[in-house]
Amino acid sequence: MLVISSREFRQNQKLYFERADKGEQIIVQRGKDKSYALIPISEDDIYFNAEMVKKIKRSAEQAKNGEVKRITSSEEISNLLGL
């Protein structure tokens, strides 16, 4: 794992993107208490594929139309999750 400063990252972005593409873990530190991981995203990443975007839009439309299930107790949460 390689830890670099945000300044170093800005100055050499291409180098660090290439290293991340090769599987190296790159952590960019910003200040004393903020860090970010540089990770390539593939087509298999569920959050960024077309199917997930379609599901999110459908869910938003259902919520807009009031097609929601209201849960008011911990028992209902357990039942929903199958616990």
Q: What is the CATH number of the domain that holds 27?
A: 3.40.1620
Please give the share of the chain, as a percent, with pLDDT higher than 70.
Answer: 98
Q: Is a pLDDT exceeding 80 seen at residue 74?
A: yes
The closest of 75, 82, 8, 59 to 38, measured between CA atoms, is: 8
Closest CA relative to residue 46, chosen from 38, 37, 55, 57: 55
Question: Is 24 or 49 the better-scoring residue by pLDDT?
Answer: 24
> 28 has which bridge partners?
4, 36
Domain co-membership, 54 together with 70: yes
Report the pLDDT averaged over residues 59-80. 92
The reply to whether 52 and 70 lie within a common domain is: yes
Looking at residue 22, what DSSP letter applies? T
Same domain, 52 and 32: no
Q: Select the more confidently predicted residue: 22 or 47.
A: 22
Domain that holds residue 17: 2-38
Does the pTM of the predicted model rise above 0.75? no
